[in-house]
Structure 1
Amino acid sequence: MTLRSNLAVGSSRWAVRRAQWRALGLSDEDMTKPKIAIVNSSSNLAICFSHLDDIVPPLKEAIRAAGGVPFEVRTAAPSDFITSAGRDGRYILPSRDLIVNDIEVAVEGALLDGMVCLASCDKTAPGQLMAAARLDIPTIVVGCGYQPSGRFRGEHVDIEEVFLAAGHVAAGHLSLPDLTEMSDNAIRGPGVCAGMGTANSMHITSEALGMTLPGSTPVLANSPRMWDAVRQAGARIVAMVDEGLRPSDILTREAFENAVTVLLAVSGSVNAIKHLQAVAVEARCDVDIPALFERLADAVPLLAAVRPNGPHFIEEFEAAGGALAVLKQLSGQLHLSARTVTGQTLGEVLADVTVADEEIIRPVDRPLGRRPGIVVVRGSLAPDGAAVKRPVDDRGPSRFEGEAIVYPSRDTALAGLAAGQIRAGHVVVVAGLGPRGGPGMGMASAVVFALDGAGLGETVAVVTDGQMSGLVNTGIVVAEVSPEAAVGGPLGLVRDGDRISIDVTARVVDLLVPDDVLAQRRAGFRVRASSGERGWLSIYERLVTPVAEGAVLTEAVPDEEGKAR
């Protein structure tokens, strides 16, 4: 086998590498074997990652048994609930791209032959998929599981319910002792949030793309099924190197369409839109992910309703067959010729699959509904699109028109709510949180949850260029508005009292202000030269592309409109 890791014998690079690796205990025979990176985004800061270090030893053993040599490499390990404390949560999205570059430096710098990526919290799976696409070496992404949830006074409780409940405490509708007790019981072990949030959505998406072993997502962390997937990945990655099966063989236009179809069928996280677009950009695949969501929205039935979208738990979804069962039910709407990390086509993978529970994962002729849970809206307020997460049932409004009340940050919006400024009928505009405006795309979820806690969740709407929790399902929330306010997008021209119209069914969000008034405002608008941030956020601000393009880092500096020059 010809391996890129096998340097010319006798060369200076071979000699110093041999000296380093011999000191690590490798033999001369090992030097000629496939060298596999175990990408471990581990951290003791969050329970999401706390089990990953224990996964590495059996994975190394499986790789060695298959004839490879494993090398563990580390990356950043961001957690939405921990890393969001600093800079108003603006490190969260940029951390995804930091992971990509961490992997590039370690794996490409060492010229390793393949990767097994341990995916956990929200940004690790998309970051690892982006890196796989960029490096284009054999890669398997392993979803390392969801956390077991707890009980609060006889009822299910998980981390997202704690997050939502905090807004009720601020409004005086829940006591601090009750919130504390919920917090004590919400998480009973390691793994990602136990719901159809961004982490589980991206693990399922990775399987739908063909980059994860079939039948391995979602999975309870540290369960026998997770350990089986780990061992299988260790054996399979060495064979993939031998076969030369690369991400470019798998991450095709057809694979991305399959992934969007699955996300619509399970009403996954709205954050998956920008993450999938980012993977497509790194894969050099000319596909418009938001446009795919628009085109497929009415064609894909809702087959599963996992909390908070519906009544079922992620454990029930896994037991019913998980992502593989959803793919089976959708097989008539998928590109079955798409390849997977097994070396088989998707059609071959699905040939003998059965669905364990067709009440949890419905067939297409008996769906839970046909109204899309992930909706891309456009209009005069969002010419390049925005994302809306809808409930899977018919609760809550689908249309809203009201007067804007504008805030420049999450904290000012929360202060305005506390001061009684926000009333029923308002459209709460939180502007300046986009990738460049943040910089780093601020989180606006706390505003939505606080409004819900104040009893305004169904009587106001929220429009923002920031991002939301993947589980937001309260009222009408239009997020990730593009172009963002900081680069002159219409959202930055909204003033208190302007009327905004939202029609989710028609997929339109409009600013009802005369053109001549907007022209006057636009003439006086000046793009901010710099936020004054230092470090990673400064680099991100200068290089990030618009969210509609995946909010990836470009090699060129964006111009005043946020486009890459």
Structure 2
Amino acid sequence: MRDVGESKMRSSEAKEGPTRAPHRALMRASGYTRWEMDRPWIGVVNSYNSIVPGHRHLREITEAVKGAVYAAGGLPLEFPVIGVCDGIAMGHRGMKFSLPSREVIADSIEIMAQAHRLDGLILIGSCDKVIPGMAMGAARLNIPSVMVSGGPMEAGSFRGRKVDLSQAFEGVGSFSKGSMKEEDLEELENSCCPGVGSCAGMFTANTMNCLMEVLGLSLPGNGTIPAVQSRRLMLAKESALCLMDMVRRSIRPLDILTLEAFEDAVAVDVALGGSTNSALHLLAIAAEAGIGLTLEHLDRISRSTPNLCRLSPAGSHHIEDLHLAGGITAVMGELMKGGLLHPQRIMAEGRTLGERCSGPGADGRVIRPISNPYSSEGGLRVLKGSLAPMGSVVKSSAVDSSMLKHRGPARVFDREEAAMEAVMKGRIREGDVVVIRWEGPKGGPGMREMLQVTAALAGQGLDKSVALVTDGRFSGATRGASVGHVSPEAAEGGPIGLVEEGDLIELDIPNGRLELLVPPEELAKRRAPRPGDQDLLSSPALRRFAALASSGAQGAAMKDLWVNGETPKP
């Protein structure tokens, strides 16, 4: 940490001295007085749009932030970034553009903050790729930054039970099997998403918003205060005051984003049973911070960290229940009892993790005590073997105990659409291992989520007898023996591209193995055909992503083009 008096504000480069008269003239054109210009310039990044329910209410949160920044002596300068709704993009070509949006968001924030020499950032967003994209931008810039989420959606109610979006996707499978009538599916559709916020379970958006608390880039409650509560606006104002204090004290992201912070994020992630997408996003954020986080870190920490929560889709609780039980600080407090976190590291507000989490721990219902966990190991597992030499990821806490070990014949599909058609027409049988390939970062391109397929299998009652393996990825709403991020992907010559119909595949989650039971000499004879992809011909954005994306085992982040192969730290 540095005292801001040691150096001038970054914004002084754009506003001080006679040579900056034209620059000040342009600021005056926007209505800013000279005494306002003299304040620290604070970028207020707003991912509002009217498409995504997690973003629909962000204007109100942004206004609360801007008012608090102004009251605390800063000049709030709002600008937007894009945001994709993975739910609406699911199951069609649109999902190919979701993961690439993460890189666009990080680049957009860097461009705006650098071009206008901003002194600090408040990053206001929700949803799957927006939060990690914002965190990547903050780490890359290394100027004082705080994140504020829009908060989780409340659960819906369907015939006396709580429901969320995952039940709607599973309802499609139930309808295809004939076990749900169309009018019942419509009633569920009308009930499962009752208002604004990021979808109510421990899916990717809520996982990442909770992990921002753990990393220390946001204040307590960021991940769990429901979107519709007034406390969300109070948090926004408190976050603005925190940011202004960080600017004065020059507390920067790289003071916070240490290896210990990422290890703690992994520990809380697996204790919560968070989305497998965190294995992509944490690695990508860490890379921006110059931290060498790997899948091996995730696997080691998950093996030694108990699973304390079973939130939807792994259980019946939702984020609102976690909030009432004490939220992320309570989960961290419980893990600290077992010596599983680093209590001395710094958080955004200048306190240590131990000082932030000094309150009560587990409630015993939503958050189990460390002495009585759901399991002695965490909710994510990394699997390696002949089918995934570089690794793959499964949300083990959402896998039925009967499927922790499974051997079955491969049912091979070269695109998600082909697999979905087979599921909807009842062509998948108990015991099968569905293989969906050419859906990785390069082969997709874009590494699509497979929630539509996994949910349809669950809706047909096959989640306890059928496994799914892909070089693509899964929504946080996925449950069942669903193994994603298989690396190397088919497009990079990985063994998944050599699997043929009927090959035996063995899944062994307790021992971290994913094996293709085909002799190496037989695999050596095979040649993987490459499916044609018109998206590469029609989309410059996807062409760039496919050309630069790293593997799923490395976070699927776009590689830097440094001639010496190294990216310097900010």
What corresponds to 1:310 in structure 2?
A: 315
* Identical positions, percent: 38
Is residue 520 of structure 2 the alignment partner of residue 519 of structure 1? Answer: no
Shift of 1:370: 1.6
- Partner residue of 1:388? 394
Tell me the equivalent position of 1:41: 47
State how 1:81-160 maps to structure 2 within 5 Å. 81-84=87-90, 87-160=93-166
Q: 2: distance between equivalents of 1:164 and 1:390?
A: 19
Letter in 1 for 2:9: L
Question: Match of 2:186?
Answer: 180
Q: Name the residue aligned to 1:250.
A: 256
2:76 matched residue in structure 1: 70
Output one character per residue of 1:37-74: Cα deviation in whole Å (capped at 9) or x when no partner. 11111110121111001111121110011110001110
> Could you list the per-position Cα deviations for residues 529-556 of structure 1 after superposition, in whole angstroms to 9, with x for gaps in the alignment?
9932422111111111111111111123
Unaligned runs of 5+ in 1: none
**Of 334, 341, 360, the match for 2:341:** 334
Which whole-Å CA distance do the structure 1 matches of 2:552 and 2:91 have between them?
Answer: 22
Paired residue type of 1:505: P
Amino acid at match of 2:89: T
Q: What is the aligned length?
A: 555
The 8 Å contact of residues 166 and 455 in structure 2, kept in 1 or not, is answered as no
Any stretches of 5+ residues in structure 2 without a counterpart?
Answer: none
**Cα deviation, residue 86, structure 1:** 5.1
Backbone CA RMSD of aligned residues:
2.2
CA distance in 2, matches of 1:72, 1:91: 25
Would you say the 8 A contact 2:310–2:397 is kept in 1? Answer: no
The residue number in structure 1 matching 2:328 is: 323
Give the whole-Å Cα distance in 2 for the aligned partners of 1:528 and 1:46. Answer: 32
**Residue 527 of structure 1: how far off its partner (Å):** 10
SS in structure 2 at match of 1:396: helix
1:368–1:85 distance in 2 versus 1, CA, 3 Å: closer
Instruction: Measure how far apart 1:356 and its partner are.
Output: 7.2
Aligned to 2:31: 25
Asked whether the equivalents of residues 372 and 392 of structure 1 are also in contact (C-alpha less than 8 Å), the reply is no
Asked if 1:466 is matched to 2:452, the reply is no
Instruction: Single out whichever of 57-66 and 443-452 deviates more from structure 2.
Output: 443-452
- Of residues 549, 555, 566 in structure 2, which corresponds to 1:550? 555
| Alignment check: 8 A CA contact 1:84 1:91 kept | no
* 1:96-139 deviation line (CA, Å, top 9, x unaligned): 11111111121222110111111211111111111111111111
Name the SS of the counterpart of 2:87 in structure 1. Answer: coil
The 3 A distance-change label for structure 1 pair 86 and 425 is closer
Q: Tell me the distance in 2 between the aligned counterparts of 1:557 and 1:533.
A: 28
Measure the CA separation in 2 of the matches of 1:424 and 1:311: 25
Paired with 2:45 and 2:408, the residues of 1 have a C-alpha distance of: 48
| Alpha-carbon distance change, 90 to 172 in structure 1, aligned in 2, over 3 angstroms | same
What amino acid is the match of 2:37? Answer: M
- Partners of 1:376 and 1:386 within 8 A in 2: yes
From 411, 422, 433, the counterpart of 1:416:
422
How far apart are residue 393 of structure 1 and its match?
8.0
The verdict on how the C-alpha distance between 1:57 and 1:173 changes in structure 2, with shifts beyond 3 A counting, is same
For residues 345-392 of structure 1, what are the alpha-carbon distances to aligned partners after superposition, in whole Å with 9 as ceiling and x for unaligned? 2122223x2247233222212223224321110001001111111236
SS in structure 1 opposite 2:292? Answer: coil
Instruction: Quote the Cα distance in structure 1 between the aligned partners of 2:136 and 2:546.
Output: 19
Q: In 2, are the aligned partners of 1:486 and 1:528 still within 8 Å (CA)?
A: no
Q: Residue 88 of structure 1 contacts residue 443 of structure 1 at CA under 8 Å; is this kept in 2?
A: no
Q: 1:291 aligns with which of 291, 296, 317?
A: 296
Show the counterpart of 1:370. Answer: 376
Q: CA 1:34 to 1:9, structure 2 compared with 1: closer, same or farther past 3 Å?
A: closer
TM-score (norm 2): 0.93
CA contact (8 A) 2:331 2:362 kept: no
Q: Pairwise mapping of residues 275-286 of structure 1 onto structure 2 (< 5 A)? A: 275-286=281-292
Supply the AA of the counterpart residue of 1:496.
E
Aligned AA (1:96): R
Residue aligning to 2:541:
536
Q: Do the aligned residues in 2 keep the contact of 1:6 with 1:31 (CA within 8 Å)? A: no
Name the residue aligned to 2:214. Answer: 208
Residue 486 of structure 1 contacts residue 527 of structure 1 at CA under 8 Å; is this kept in 2? no
Residue 246 (structure 1) shift: 0.6
Local SS of the residue matching 2:196: coil
Aligned to 2:405: 399
Residue 433 of structure 2 is matched in structure 1 by 427
Q: Which amino acid aligns with 2:409?
A: E
1: CA distance, partners of 2:532 / 2:296: 30
Once the two structures are TM-superposed, the CA of residue 313 in structure 1 deviates from its matched residue by 2.8
Is the partner of 2:526 in helix, strand or coil? helix
Compare 397-406 and 305-314 and name the one that shifted more.
305-314
Distance 1:178 1:527 in 2: 38
The whole-number CA distance in structure 2 between the counterparts of 1:316 and 1:419 is 37
Deviation at 1:421, TM superposition (A): 3.6
State the 1:454 CA deviation.
3.1
Q: For 1:358 and 1:16, how far apart are their aligned partners in 2?
A: 62
User: Taking structure 1 as the reference length, what is the TM-score of the superposition?
Assistant: 0.94
For 1:516 and 1:393, the matched residues in 2 are separated by: 33
Q: 1:148: how far off?
A: 1.9
For 1:11 and 1:515, how far apart are their aligned partners in 2? 72
SS at 1:181 equivalent: helix
Shift of 1:450: 1.9
Which segment drifts farther, 524-533 or 439-448?
Answer: 524-533
The 3 A distance-change label for structure 1 pair 450 and 529 is: closer
Q: Give the letter for the 1:501 counterpart.
A: E
CA contact (8 A) 2:91 2:450 kept: no
Structure 2 counterpart of 1:493, from 498, 502, 517: 498
